[in-house]
A and B are shown apart, each in its own frame.
Chain A
Protein backbone atom coordinates (compact mmCIF):
# COMPACT_ATOMS: atom_id res chain seq x y z
CA UNK A 1 0.00 0.00 0.00
CA UNK A 2 1.39 3.43 -0.96
CA UNK A 3 1.88 6.20 1.57
CA UNK A 4 -0.86 8.91 1.42
CA UNK A 5 0.39 11.94 -0.47
CA UNK A 6 3.17 10.04 -2.26
CA UNK A 7 2.86 8.46 -5.72
CA UNK A 8 2.95 4.66 -5.96
CA UNK A 9 6.29 3.34 -7.25
CA UNK A 10 6.35 2.60 -10.98
CA UNK A 11 7.59 -0.97 -10.42
CA UNK A 12 6.58 -2.21 -6.97
CA UNK A 13 9.29 -4.27 -5.37
CA UNK A 14 8.46 -7.96 -5.20
CA UNK A 15 6.42 -7.93 -8.42
CA UNK A 16 6.64 -11.39 -10.02
CA UNK A 17 5.70 -9.90 -13.37
CA UNK A 18 8.50 -7.35 -13.30
CA UNK A 19 10.90 -10.01 -12.11
CA UNK A 20 9.98 -12.34 -14.96
CA UNK A 21 10.20 -9.50 -17.49
CA UNK A 22 13.63 -8.49 -16.23
CA UNK A 23 14.79 -12.11 -16.30
CA UNK A 24 13.62 -12.55 -19.89
CA UNK A 25 15.22 -9.31 -21.01
CA UNK A 26 18.52 -10.38 -19.44
CA UNK A 27 18.45 -13.85 -21.02
CA UNK A 28 19.28 -12.66 -24.52
CA UNK A 29 21.16 -9.39 -25.08
CA UNK A 30 19.13 -6.64 -26.73
CA UNK A 31 18.91 -7.12 -30.49
CA UNK A 32 20.36 -10.66 -30.41
CA UNK A 33 17.10 -12.63 -30.46
CA UNK A 34 16.63 -11.82 -34.15
CA UNK A 35 19.93 -10.20 -35.14
CA UNK A 36 20.45 -8.45 -38.45
CA UNK A 37 24.22 -8.56 -38.09
CA UNK A 38 26.61 -11.41 -37.35
CA UNK A 39 30.32 -11.51 -36.49
CA UNK A 40 32.37 -11.31 -39.67
CA UNK A 41 34.00 -14.69 -38.97
CA UNK A 42 30.64 -16.43 -39.54
CA UNK A 43 31.47 -17.22 -43.15
CA UNK A 44 31.30 -20.94 -43.82
CA UNK A 45 28.74 -23.39 -45.17
CA UNK A 46 29.02 -25.40 -41.97
CA UNK A 47 26.90 -22.75 -40.24
CA UNK A 48 24.01 -23.56 -42.56
CA UNK A 49 23.48 -26.96 -40.98
CA UNK A 50 22.13 -25.55 -37.72
CA UNK A 51 19.31 -23.70 -39.45
CA UNK A 52 18.80 -26.65 -41.81
CA UNK A 53 18.28 -28.87 -38.75
CA UNK A 54 15.70 -26.46 -37.42
CA UNK A 55 13.97 -26.26 -40.81
CA UNK A 56 13.90 -30.06 -41.10
CA UNK A 57 12.40 -30.29 -37.61
CA UNK A 58 9.61 -27.95 -38.73
CA UNK A 59 8.90 -30.22 -41.73
CA UNK A 60 8.97 -33.33 -39.48
CA UNK A 61 6.45 -31.77 -37.09
CA UNK A 62 4.23 -30.44 -39.88
CA UNK A 63 4.02 -33.80 -41.69
CA UNK A 64 3.48 -35.58 -38.37
CA UNK A 65 0.59 -33.24 -37.59
CA UNK A 66 -1.03 -34.06 -40.94
CA UNK A 67 -0.64 -37.79 -40.24
CA UNK A 68 -2.23 -37.38 -36.82
CA UNK A 69 -5.33 -35.71 -38.28
CA UNK A 70 -6.45 -38.92 -39.99
CA UNK A 71 -5.10 -41.35 -37.40
CA UNK A 72 -2.64 -44.21 -37.12
CA UNK A 73 -4.16 -46.46 -39.81
CA UNK A 74 -4.70 -43.84 -42.52
CA UNK A 75 -1.36 -44.26 -44.26
CA UNK A 76 -1.95 -48.01 -44.70
CA UNK A 77 -5.17 -47.55 -46.68
CA UNK A 78 -4.78 -44.25 -48.53
CA UNK A 79 -2.37 -43.22 -51.27
CA UNK A 80 -2.44 -39.69 -49.91
CA UNK A 81 -1.73 -41.01 -46.44
CA UNK A 82 1.13 -43.09 -47.78
CA UNK A 83 2.64 -40.01 -49.45
CA UNK A 84 2.34 -37.96 -46.26
CA UNK A 85 3.98 -40.83 -44.37
CA UNK A 86 6.76 -40.81 -46.96
CA UNK A 87 7.20 -37.06 -46.42
CA UNK A 88 7.40 -37.70 -42.68
CA UNK A 89 9.94 -40.51 -43.10
CA UNK A 90 12.23 -38.63 -45.47
CA UNK A 91 12.06 -35.40 -43.50
CA UNK A 92 13.27 -37.40 -40.49
CA UNK A 93 16.13 -38.83 -42.54
CA UNK A 94 17.08 -35.33 -43.73
CA UNK A 95 16.71 -34.00 -40.17
CA UNK A 96 19.18 -36.53 -38.76
CA UNK A 97 21.61 -36.12 -41.66
CA UNK A 98 21.91 -32.35 -41.24
CA UNK A 99 21.85 -32.59 -37.43
CA UNK A 100 24.80 -34.99 -37.41
CA UNK A 101 26.78 -32.67 -39.71
CA UNK A 102 25.85 -29.76 -37.40
CA UNK A 103 27.00 -31.76 -34.36
CA UNK A 104 30.34 -32.72 -35.91
CA UNK A 105 30.84 -29.15 -37.11
CA UNK A 106 30.33 -27.83 -33.60
CA UNK A 107 32.68 -30.47 -32.21
CA UNK A 108 35.55 -29.46 -34.49
CA UNK A 109 34.84 -25.80 -33.72
CA UNK A 110 35.02 -26.64 -29.98
CA UNK A 111 31.79 -24.69 -29.79
CA UNK A 112 31.53 -25.15 -26.03
CA UNK A 113 34.24 -22.54 -25.43
CA UNK A 114 33.41 -19.23 -23.76
CA UNK A 115 30.80 -20.48 -21.28
CA UNK A 116 28.87 -22.38 -23.97
CA UNK A 117 29.00 -25.83 -22.32
CA UNK A 118 25.26 -25.77 -21.66
CA UNK A 119 24.63 -24.99 -25.33
CA UNK A 120 26.58 -28.12 -26.25
CA UNK A 121 24.79 -30.22 -23.60
CA UNK A 122 21.33 -29.11 -24.75
CA UNK A 123 22.38 -29.92 -28.32
CA UNK A 124 23.32 -33.45 -27.26
CA UNK A 125 20.00 -33.75 -25.43
CA UNK A 126 18.22 -32.71 -28.65
CA UNK A 127 20.11 -35.42 -30.53
CA UNK A 128 19.35 -38.15 -27.98
CA UNK A 129 15.73 -37.05 -27.59
CA UNK A 130 15.31 -37.10 -31.35
CA UNK A 131 16.63 -40.66 -31.52
CA UNK A 132 14.05 -41.71 -28.92
CA UNK A 133 11.28 -39.92 -30.78
CA UNK A 134 12.21 -41.51 -34.10
CA UNK A 135 12.47 -44.91 -32.43
CA UNK A 136 8.92 -44.69 -31.06
CA UNK A 137 7.82 -43.69 -34.56
CA UNK A 138 9.24 -46.91 -35.96
CA UNK A 139 7.40 -48.80 -33.21
CA UNK A 140 4.13 -47.05 -34.10
CA UNK A 141 4.04 -48.09 -37.76
CA UNK A 142 1.69 -51.04 -37.07
CA UNK A 143 3.32 -53.19 -39.76
CA UNK A 144 5.89 -55.98 -40.00
CA UNK A 145 8.76 -53.61 -39.32
CA UNK A 146 7.30 -52.45 -36.01
CA UNK A 147 6.51 -56.05 -35.04
CA UNK A 148 10.12 -57.06 -35.53
CA UNK A 149 11.74 -53.94 -34.07
CA UNK A 150 9.59 -54.08 -30.92
CA UNK A 151 10.37 -57.77 -30.40
CA UNK A 152 14.09 -57.05 -30.62
CA UNK A 153 14.09 -53.79 -28.72
CA UNK A 154 12.24 -55.13 -25.70
CA UNK A 155 15.25 -57.18 -24.62
CA UNK A 156 17.57 -54.19 -24.41
CA UNK A 157 15.06 -52.05 -22.57
CA UNK A 158 14.00 -54.87 -20.23
CA UNK A 159 17.63 -55.70 -19.44
CA UNK A 160 18.14 -52.33 -17.75
CA UNK A 161 14.68 -52.11 -16.18
CA UNK A 162 13.29 -49.46 -18.54
CA UNK A 163 10.98 -51.94 -20.26
CA UNK A 164 8.94 -52.36 -17.11
CA UNK A 165 7.69 -48.79 -17.56
CA UNK A 166 8.24 -48.20 -21.28
CA UNK A 167 6.59 -51.16 -23.01
CA UNK A 168 7.66 -51.31 -26.65
CA UNK A 169 5.16 -54.14 -27.24
CA UNK A 170 2.30 -51.73 -26.54
CA UNK A 171 1.93 -49.64 -29.74
CA UNK A 172 -0.68 -47.42 -28.10
CA UNK A 173 1.79 -46.35 -25.41
CA UNK A 174 4.52 -45.90 -28.02
CA UNK A 175 2.29 -43.78 -30.24
CA UNK A 176 1.48 -41.42 -27.37
CA UNK A 177 5.16 -41.11 -26.50
CA UNK A 178 5.85 -40.46 -30.19
CA UNK A 179 3.26 -37.75 -30.78
CA UNK A 180 3.01 -36.08 -27.38
CA UNK A 181 5.63 -36.69 -24.70
CA UNK A 182 8.87 -36.90 -26.64
CA UNK A 183 8.07 -34.09 -29.13
CA UNK A 184 7.24 -31.90 -26.13
CA UNK A 185 10.56 -32.68 -24.48
CA UNK A 186 12.53 -32.25 -27.71
CA UNK A 187 10.67 -29.03 -28.49
CA UNK A 188 11.47 -27.51 -25.10
CA UNK A 189 15.13 -28.53 -25.28
CA UNK A 190 15.44 -27.19 -28.85
CA UNK A 191 13.97 -23.87 -27.69
CA UNK A 192 16.39 -23.80 -24.78
CA UNK A 193 19.28 -24.57 -27.16
CA UNK A 194 18.30 -21.75 -29.51
CA UNK A 195 17.95 -19.25 -26.66
CA UNK A 196 21.44 -20.20 -25.45
CA UNK A 197 22.84 -19.79 -28.99
CA UNK A 198 21.33 -16.32 -29.26
CA UNK A 199 22.40 -15.44 -25.71
CA UNK A 200 26.09 -16.26 -26.19
CA UNK A 201 26.39 -15.61 -29.91
CA UNK A 202 28.41 -17.70 -32.37
CA UNK A 203 31.63 -19.02 -30.85
CA UNK A 204 34.71 -17.10 -32.08
CA UNK A 205 37.50 -18.88 -33.96
CA UNK A 206 39.96 -20.96 -31.95
CA UNK A 207 42.94 -18.84 -30.87
CA UNK A 208 41.21 -15.62 -31.93
CA UNK A 209 42.68 -12.66 -30.03
CA UNK A 210 40.47 -10.18 -28.21
CA UNK A 211 39.16 -7.74 -30.88
CA UNK A 212 40.19 -4.11 -30.26
CA UNK A 213 36.84 -2.44 -30.94
CA UNK A 214 33.54 -3.47 -32.50
CA UNK A 215 33.38 -2.32 -36.10
CA UNK A 216 31.05 -3.18 -38.91
CA UNK A 217 32.47 -4.31 -42.21
CA UNK A 218 30.63 -3.99 -45.50
CA UNK A 219 28.58 -6.87 -46.93
CA UNK A 220 30.47 -9.52 -48.84
CA UNK A 221 29.38 -11.14 -52.10
CA UNK A 222 28.85 -14.37 -50.13
CA UNK A 223 25.55 -12.93 -48.95
CA UNK A 224 22.85 -14.96 -47.25
CA UNK A 225 23.49 -18.57 -46.25
CA UNK A 226 27.21 -17.97 -45.82
Chain B
Protein backbone atom coordinates (compact mmCIF):
# COMPACT_ATOMS: atom_id res chain seq x y z
CA UNK B 1 0.00 0.00 0.00
CA UNK B 2 1.33 3.39 -0.95
CA UNK B 3 2.49 5.65 1.85
CA UNK B 4 0.59 8.53 0.19
CA UNK B 5 -2.83 6.91 0.50
CA UNK B 6 -5.38 8.74 2.62
CA UNK B 7 -7.48 6.93 5.25
CA UNK B 8 -10.53 7.31 2.96
CA UNK B 9 -8.72 5.61 0.07
CA UNK B 10 -7.77 2.73 2.35
CA UNK B 11 -11.37 2.41 3.52
CA UNK B 12 -12.64 2.31 -0.04
CA UNK B 13 -10.10 -0.30 -1.06
CA UNK B 14 -11.03 -2.46 1.94
CA UNK B 15 -14.17 -3.44 0.03
CA UNK B 16 -13.27 -5.22 -3.23
CA UNK B 17 -14.98 -4.36 -6.50
CA UNK B 18 -18.03 -6.60 -6.84
CA UNK B 19 -17.35 -7.02 -10.57
CA UNK B 20 -14.10 -8.85 -9.82
CA UNK B 21 -15.76 -11.77 -8.02
CA UNK B 22 -16.62 -15.12 -9.60
CA UNK B 23 -20.09 -15.07 -11.13
CA UNK B 24 -22.88 -17.42 -12.01
CA UNK B 25 -25.89 -17.18 -14.37
CA UNK B 26 -28.72 -14.97 -13.24
CA UNK B 27 -31.97 -13.85 -14.93
CA UNK B 28 -32.88 -10.38 -13.67
CA UNK B 29 -35.97 -9.96 -15.83
CA UNK B 30 -37.33 -13.40 -14.90
CA UNK B 31 -36.79 -12.61 -11.23
CA UNK B 32 -38.72 -9.34 -11.54
CA UNK B 33 -41.61 -10.96 -13.42
CA UNK B 34 -41.90 -13.69 -10.79
CA UNK B 35 -41.77 -11.09 -8.00
CA UNK B 36 -44.45 -9.04 -9.74
CA UNK B 37 -46.68 -12.10 -10.06
CA UNK B 38 -46.19 -13.03 -6.39
CA UNK B 39 -46.92 -9.50 -5.13
CA UNK B 40 -49.94 -9.13 -7.42
CA UNK B 41 -51.38 -12.44 -6.26
CA UNK B 42 -50.76 -11.62 -2.61
CA UNK B 43 -52.42 -8.23 -3.06
CA UNK B 44 -55.49 -9.73 -4.72
CA UNK B 45 -55.84 -12.34 -1.97
CA UNK B 46 -55.52 -9.73 0.79
CA UNK B 47 -57.96 -7.35 -0.93
CA UNK B 48 -60.51 -10.09 -1.53
CA UNK B 49 -60.21 -11.39 2.02
CA UNK B 50 -60.11 -8.14 3.97
CA UNK B 51 -61.40 -5.39 1.62
CA UNK B 52 -60.67 -1.85 2.92
CA UNK B 53 -62.26 0.38 5.56
CA UNK B 54 -64.52 3.24 4.48
CA UNK B 55 -66.41 4.79 7.36
CA UNK B 56 -68.48 7.71 6.11
CA UNK B 57 -67.26 11.19 6.97
CA UNK B 58 -69.05 13.01 9.78
CA UNK B 59 -71.15 15.83 8.35
CA UNK B 60 -71.97 18.92 10.39
CA UNK B 61 -75.61 17.78 10.25
CA UNK B 62 -74.56 14.43 11.75
CA UNK B 63 -72.75 16.29 14.48
CA UNK B 64 -75.78 18.52 15.20
CA UNK B 65 -78.07 15.52 15.30
CA UNK B 66 -75.87 13.34 17.49
CA UNK B 67 -74.40 15.95 19.85
CA UNK B 68 -76.48 19.17 19.73
CA UNK B 69 -75.15 20.43 23.06
CA UNK B 70 -71.59 20.11 21.74
CA UNK B 71 -72.50 22.21 18.69
CA UNK B 72 -73.95 24.96 20.89
CA UNK B 73 -70.91 24.88 23.20
CA UNK B 74 -68.56 24.99 20.22
CA UNK B 75 -70.35 27.93 18.60
CA UNK B 76 -70.22 29.77 21.91
CA UNK B 77 -66.50 29.10 22.29
CA UNK B 78 -65.90 30.43 18.77
CA UNK B 79 -67.73 33.65 19.72
CA UNK B 80 -65.80 33.89 23.01
CA UNK B 81 -62.48 33.36 21.23
CA UNK B 82 -61.67 30.38 23.44
CA UNK B 83 -61.99 27.54 20.93
CA UNK B 84 -58.90 25.67 19.75
CA UNK B 85 -58.92 27.34 16.34
CA UNK B 86 -59.65 30.82 17.74
CA UNK B 87 -56.63 30.64 20.06
CA UNK B 88 -54.36 28.64 17.72
CA UNK B 89 -51.92 31.10 16.15
CA UNK B 90 -50.22 30.50 12.80
CA UNK B 91 -51.13 29.51 10.14
CA UNK B 92 -54.72 30.51 10.99
CA UNK B 93 -54.45 33.69 13.08
CA UNK B 94 -52.23 35.76 15.37
CA UNK B 95 -53.94 34.72 18.60
CA UNK B 96 -50.85 32.89 19.91
CA UNK B 97 -47.16 32.42 19.16
CA UNK B 98 -47.64 28.69 18.69
CA UNK B 99 -45.15 25.98 19.54
CA UNK B 100 -41.39 26.38 19.70
CA UNK B 101 -38.59 24.00 18.85
CA UNK B 102 -36.29 25.18 21.67
CA UNK B 103 -35.61 28.81 20.65
CA UNK B 104 -36.99 28.41 17.12
CA UNK B 105 -40.50 29.82 16.60
CA UNK B 106 -40.96 27.99 13.32
CA UNK B 107 -44.75 28.06 13.56
CA UNK B 108 -44.87 31.83 14.04
CA UNK B 109 -42.18 32.52 11.46
CA UNK B 110 -44.07 30.58 8.78
CA UNK B 111 -46.84 33.16 9.10
CA UNK B 112 -50.61 33.26 8.79
CA UNK B 113 -51.15 31.74 5.35
CA UNK B 114 -54.62 30.23 5.84
CA UNK B 115 -56.38 33.07 7.70
CA UNK B 116 -59.41 32.01 9.72
CA UNK B 117 -61.39 34.38 11.95
CA UNK B 118 -63.16 31.72 14.00
CA UNK B 119 -66.00 33.88 15.37
CA UNK B 120 -66.88 35.52 12.08
CA UNK B 121 -65.90 32.86 9.50
CA UNK B 122 -67.30 29.87 11.38
CA UNK B 123 -70.36 31.35 13.15
CA UNK B 124 -71.38 34.96 12.46
CA UNK B 125 -71.08 35.01 8.65
CA UNK B 126 -72.94 31.71 8.23
CA UNK B 127 -75.71 33.02 10.50
CA UNK B 128 -75.92 36.20 8.42
CA UNK B 129 -76.90 34.03 5.46
CA UNK B 130 -80.08 32.92 7.26
CA UNK B 131 -83.20 34.80 6.13
CA UNK B 132 -86.72 35.09 7.57
CA UNK B 133 -85.72 34.89 11.22
CA UNK B 134 -86.43 38.22 12.88
CA UNK B 135 -85.10 37.14 16.26
CA UNK B 136 -81.79 36.10 14.76
CA UNK B 137 -81.52 39.34 12.77
CA UNK B 138 -81.97 41.35 15.94
CA UNK B 139 -79.43 39.21 17.76
CA UNK B 140 -76.89 39.67 14.97
CA UNK B 141 -77.48 43.42 14.98
CA UNK B 142 -76.87 43.51 18.72
CA UNK B 143 -73.71 41.42 18.29
CA UNK B 144 -72.19 43.45 15.50
CA UNK B 145 -72.97 46.79 17.13
CA UNK B 146 -71.46 45.77 20.49
CA UNK B 147 -67.86 46.41 21.46
CA UNK B 148 -65.35 43.57 21.28
CA UNK B 149 -65.09 43.47 25.07
CA UNK B 150 -68.88 43.27 25.42
CA UNK B 151 -69.06 40.41 22.93
CA UNK B 152 -66.39 38.50 24.80
CA UNK B 153 -68.12 39.11 28.13
CA UNK B 154 -71.46 37.81 26.80
CA UNK B 155 -69.99 34.75 25.10
CA UNK B 156 -67.72 33.84 28.01
CA UNK B 157 -70.58 34.13 30.50
CA UNK B 158 -72.74 31.87 28.35
CA UNK B 159 -69.92 29.35 27.89
CA UNK B 160 -69.47 29.20 31.66
CA UNK B 161 -73.21 28.75 32.17
CA UNK B 162 -73.30 25.92 29.59
CA UNK B 163 -70.41 24.23 31.35
CA UNK B 164 -72.39 24.26 34.60
CA UNK B 165 -75.67 23.04 33.06
CA UNK B 166 -76.40 19.29 33.22
CA UNK B 167 -74.89 17.70 30.07
CA UNK B 168 -74.26 21.22 28.76
CA UNK B 169 -77.95 21.40 27.90
CA UNK B 170 -78.82 24.98 26.77
CA UNK B 171 -82.40 24.58 28.01
CA UNK B 172 -81.13 24.09 31.56
CA UNK B 173 -78.86 27.12 31.68
CA UNK B 174 -79.53 29.46 34.55
CA UNK B 175 -80.36 33.03 33.64
CA UNK B 176 -77.63 35.59 33.14
CA UNK B 177 -76.42 38.46 30.99
CA UNK B 178 -75.58 36.59 27.81
CA UNK B 179 -76.74 39.24 25.31
CA UNK B 180 -77.60 37.76 21.90
CA UNK B 181 -75.33 34.73 22.30
CA UNK B 182 -78.01 32.14 23.22
CA UNK B 183 -80.14 33.13 20.23
CA UNK B 184 -77.13 32.96 17.91
CA UNK B 185 -75.92 29.61 19.27
CA UNK B 186 -79.39 28.08 18.98
CA UNK B 187 -79.77 29.40 15.43
CA UNK B 188 -76.33 27.97 14.60
CA UNK B 189 -77.49 24.55 15.79
CA UNK B 190 -80.57 24.80 13.57
CA UNK B 191 -78.39 25.83 10.62
CA UNK B 192 -76.08 22.87 11.20
CA UNK B 193 -79.06 20.53 11.40
CA UNK B 194 -80.34 21.82 8.07
CA UNK B 195 -77.32 20.30 6.31
CA UNK B 196 -76.19 23.43 4.54
CA UNK B 197 -73.53 24.68 6.91
CA UNK B 198 -70.57 23.08 5.13
CA UNK B 199 -71.30 24.94 1.91
CA UNK B 200 -71.90 28.26 3.69
CA UNK B 201 -68.67 28.06 5.67
CA UNK B 202 -66.44 27.27 2.74
CA UNK B 203 -64.49 30.02 1.06
CA UNK B 204 -65.65 29.22 -2.44
CA UNK B 205 -69.13 29.93 -3.69
CA UNK B 206 -69.55 26.70 -5.62
CA UNK B 207 -66.52 24.38 -5.64
CA UNK B 208 -65.72 23.56 -2.04
CA UNK B 209 -62.39 21.80 -2.40
CA UNK B 210 -60.69 23.29 0.66
CA UNK B 211 -62.18 21.89 3.88
CA UNK B 212 -59.96 23.86 6.28
CA UNK B 213 -62.76 25.80 7.96
CA UNK B 214 -65.17 22.86 8.22
CA UNK B 215 -62.50 20.63 9.74
CA UNK B 216 -61.35 23.32 12.17
CA UNK B 217 -64.96 23.78 13.32
CA UNK B 218 -65.51 20.04 13.69
CA UNK B 219 -62.26 19.64 15.62
CA UNK B 220 -63.17 22.54 17.92
CA UNK B 221 -65.98 20.34 19.26
CA UNK B 222 -65.57 17.16 21.28
CA UNK B 223 -67.80 14.91 19.19
CA UNK B 224 -65.23 13.83 16.59
CA UNK B 225 -62.66 13.07 19.27
CA UNK B 226 -65.21 10.99 21.18
CA UNK B 227 -65.87 9.04 18.00
CA UNK B 228 -62.16 8.58 17.34
CA UNK B 229 -61.40 7.46 20.87
CA UNK B 230 -64.21 4.93 20.65
CA UNK B 231 -62.29 3.49 17.68
CA UNK B 232 -58.93 3.55 19.50
CA UNK B 233 -57.65 6.41 17.36
CA UNK B 234 -56.82 8.88 20.16
CA UNK B 235 -53.38 10.45 20.32
CA UNK B 236 -52.56 8.47 23.49
CA UNK B 237 -53.91 5.31 21.80
CA UNK B 238 -51.23 5.33 19.06
CA UNK B 239 -53.91 6.89 16.89
CA UNK B 240 -51.69 8.32 14.15
CA UNK B 241 -50.66 4.86 12.98
CA UNK B 242 -54.00 3.14 13.61
CA UNK B 243 -56.92 2.66 11.28
CA UNK B 244 -60.61 2.20 11.99
CA UNK B 245 -61.54 -1.40 12.69
CA UNK B 246 -58.76 -3.96 12.71
CA UNK B 247 -56.94 -2.70 9.63
CA UNK B 248 -53.18 -2.22 9.85
CA UNK B 249 -53.18 1.52 9.09
CA UNK B 250 -49.73 3.09 8.89
CA UNK B 251 -47.50 0.87 11.07
CA UNK B 252 -44.42 2.46 9.48
CA UNK B 253 -45.24 5.56 11.57
CA UNK B 254 -44.75 3.66 14.83
CA UNK B 255 -41.68 5.61 15.88
CA UNK B 256 -43.32 9.00 15.25
CA UNK B 257 -46.36 7.90 17.26
CA UNK B 258 -44.20 6.35 19.97
CA UNK B 259 -42.71 9.66 21.13
CA UNK B 260 -46.18 11.03 21.95
CA UNK B 261 -46.64 8.22 24.46
CA UNK B 262 -43.59 9.04 26.59
CA UNK B 263 -42.19 11.94 28.58
CA UNK B 264 -40.94 14.58 28.12
CA UNK B 265 -42.93 14.78 24.89
CA UNK B 266 -46.40 13.78 26.06
CA UNK B 267 -46.43 16.37 28.86
CA UNK B 268 -44.79 19.19 26.89
CA UNK B 269 -46.65 22.21 25.52
CA UNK B 270 -44.29 21.96 22.55
CA UNK B 271 -44.75 18.21 22.04
CA UNK B 272 -45.50 18.43 18.31
CA UNK B 273 -42.49 20.63 17.56
CA UNK B 274 -40.19 18.48 19.70
CA UNK B 275 -41.37 15.20 18.14
CA UNK B 276 -41.04 16.61 14.64
CA UNK B 277 -37.60 17.99 15.42
CA UNK B 278 -36.48 14.65 16.82
CA UNK B 279 -37.88 12.70 13.86
CA UNK B 280 -36.15 15.00 11.37
CA UNK B 281 -32.90 14.53 13.27
CA UNK B 282 -33.32 10.74 13.31
CA UNK B 283 -34.17 10.70 9.60
CA UNK B 284 -31.03 12.64 8.76
CA UNK B 285 -29.12 10.26 11.02
CA UNK B 286 -30.54 7.24 9.17
CA UNK B 287 -29.50 8.71 5.84
CA UNK B 288 -26.00 9.44 7.14
CA UNK B 289 -25.40 6.05 8.82
CA UNK B 290 -22.49 5.33 6.42
CA UNK B 291 -20.64 8.32 7.90
CA UNK B 292 -21.44 7.91 11.61
CA UNK B 293 -18.56 6.22 13.49
CA UNK B 294 -19.73 3.35 15.66
CA UNK B 295 -23.11 3.05 14.00
CA UNK B 296 -21.62 2.26 10.60
CA UNK B 297 -19.46 -0.45 12.19
CA UNK B 298 -22.35 -2.12 14.01
CA UNK B 299 -23.09 -4.66 11.24
CA UNK B 300 -19.48 -5.84 11.37
CA UNK B 301 -19.65 -6.39 15.14
CA UNK B 302 -23.05 -8.09 15.26
CA UNK B 303 -22.67 -11.00 12.82
CA UNK B 304 -26.12 -11.02 11.20
CA UNK B 305 -24.24 -10.78 7.88
CA UNK B 306 -22.89 -14.29 8.42
CA UNK B 307 -26.42 -15.58 7.85
CA UNK B 308 -26.67 -13.67 4.57
CA UNK B 309 -23.34 -14.87 3.21
CA UNK B 310 -23.08 -18.21 5.04
CA UNK B 311 -22.30 -20.10 1.80
CA UNK B 312 -19.54 -17.67 0.87
CA UNK B 313 -17.94 -17.83 4.32
CA UNK B 314 -18.21 -21.62 4.36
CA UNK B 315 -16.63 -22.01 0.93
CA UNK B 316 -13.79 -19.68 1.80
CA UNK B 317 -13.30 -20.92 5.38
CA UNK B 318 -13.85 -17.42 6.74
Residues of A within 8 A of B (CB): 29, 32, 34-44, 46, 48, 51-52, 54-56, 58-59, 63, 75-76, 82-83, 85-87, 89-91, 93-94, 96, 98, 100, 105, 107-110, 112-117, 120-121, 124-125, 128, 131, 134-135, 138, 141-153, 155-165, 167, 169-173, 200-211, 214-220, 224-225
Q: What B residues does A58 contact at CB under 8 A? A: 36, 39
Q: What B residues does A56 contact at CB under 8 A? A: 39, 43
Could you mark each residue 17-49 of chain B with 1 if its beta carbon is under 8 Å from any beta carbon of chain A, else 0? 111111111111111101110111011101110
Lowest 5 A-B CB distances belong to which pairs? Answer: A201-B18, A161-B110, A114-B15, A112-B290, A172-B209
- Smallest distance from the beta carbon of A113 to chain B beta carbons, Å? 4
Could you mark each residue 96-119 of chain B with 1 if its beta carbon is under 8 Å from any beta carbon of chain A, else 0? 001101000011011111100000
Whole-angstrom CA separation of A89 from B307 in the bound complex = 33
Interface of B is mostly: helix
Residues of B within 8 A of A (CB): 12, 14-32, 34-36, 38-40, 42-44, 46-48, 50-58, 88, 90-91, 98-99, 101, 106-107, 109-114, 209-212, 215-216, 218-219, 224, 227-228, 233, 235, 239-240, 243-244, 247-248, 250-253, 270, 272-273, 275-277, 280, 283, 286-291, 296, 299-300, 302, 304-305, 307-313, 316, 318
Judging by beta carbons under 8 Å apart, are B309 and A44 in contact? yes
Tell whether A156 pairs with B275 under 8 Å between CB atoms, given A167-B114, A204-B16, A207-B318. Answer: yes
Judging by beta carbons under 8 Å apart, are B107 and A144 in contact? no
Partner of A51, one of B35, B283, B310: B35
Partner of B300, one of A42, A110, A120: A110
Judging by beta carbons under 8 Å apart, are A205 and B312 in contact? yes
Closest residue of chain A to B90 (Cβ to Cβ) is: A164
Judging by beta carbons under 8 Å apart, are B113 and A164 in contact? yes
Closest residue of chain B to A45 (Cβ to Cβ) is: B308
Tell whether A36 pairs with B212 under 8 Å between CB atoms, given A52-B39, A144-B227, A149-B240. Answer: no
Tell whether A52 pairs with B47 under 8 Å between CB atoms, given A143-B57, A160-B277. Answer: no
Partner of A41, one of B106, B235, B300, B309: B309
Q: What B residues does A105 contact at CB under 8 A? A: 308
Judging by beta carbons under 8 Å apart, are B101 and A203 in contact? no
Whole-angstrom CA separation of A46 from B55 in the bound complex = 38
Judging by beta carbons under 8 Å apart, are A125 and B287 in contact? yes
Q: What B residues does A156 contact at CB under 8 A? A: 272, 275-276
Supplied contacts A128-B283, A205-B313, 16 more A-B pairs, CB within 8 Å: A40-B22, A41-B311, A76-B54, A82-B52, A83-B48, A86-B46, A96-B252, A120-B290, A135-B253, A158-B88, A159-B272, A161-B106, A210-B16, A211-B20, A220-B24, A224-B31
Q: What A residues does B106 contact at CB under 8 A? A: 159-161
Q: What B residues does A202 contact at CB under 8 A? A: 18
Partner of A148, one of B34, B48, B233, B287: B233
- Smallest distance from the beta carbon of B234 to chain A beta carbons, Å? 9
Q: What B residues does A110 contact at CB under 8 A? A: 296, 299-300, 305
Judging by beta carbons under 8 Å apart, are B111 and A91 in contact? no
Judging by beta carbons under 8 Å apart, are A89 and B47 in contact? yes
Judging by beta carbons under 8 Å apart, are A160 and B273 in contact? yes
Q: What B residues does A160 contact at CB under 8 A? A: 101, 106-107, 272-273, 276-277, 280
Closest residue of chain A to B15 (Cβ to Cβ) is: A114
Whole-angstrom CA separation of A124 from B283 in the bound complex = 8
Judging by beta carbons under 8 Å apart, are B23 and A217 in contact? yes
Closest residue of chain B to A117 (Cβ to Cβ) is: B290
- Smallest distance from the beta carbon of B98 to chain A beta carbons, Å? 7
Judging by beta carbons under 8 Å apart, are A38 and B56 in contact? no
